[in-house]
Amino acid sequence: MGFTGTRHGMTQAQKDKFIELMFIGAGYEFHHGCCAGADTQAHELLRAQSVKTYIVGHPPTNDILTTWTIEDCDELRDKKPYIQRNRVIVSEADSMIAAPAEMTEQIKGGTWSTVRFANKHGVPCYIIFPDGSVKNSKEFMKSSEKT
């Protein structure tokens, strides 16, 4: 499972839904970007669960937003620029969870760029919106194009 999320952090509704979704695949390998905000929250939520999840960190070359989670990962990949790092996360994942700060797709931003990359490469991605609702990214993007 790969993860991408806002540097502003998840809402409580997103955190609750994240845990619900992760229990479906508890004990699996989980990939995140080692950054402040949603990556750190997802890491903490998984470590707090009774079922051990193997966490793979993908740190960015820019250390400004890198957090302590880099020290708590079970495995670390090489540092890469944000966009390349996000693409590696997608390429190593069977599916993705995205936790954006917005309820609508944004042209700019790493989370939405990663969702589009996952769609383009056929990796299932589930978006947990700030209100806790969940949508399949391909269906969401198609419906967004119509409006």
pTM above 0.75, yes or no: yes
**CATH number reported for the structural domain that contains residue 52 in this entry:** 3.40.50.450
pLDDT tier at 49, thresholds 50, 70, 90: confident
Check pLDDT > 90 for residue 121.
Answer: yes
Closest residue by Cα to residue 41 from 13, 79, 75? 13
Question: Which pLDDT tens digit goes with each residue over 99-117?
Answer: 999 999 999 889 999 999 9
Give 106's DSSP letter.
-
- Number of domains making up the chain: 1
* Dist CA 61 CA 85 (whole Å): 9
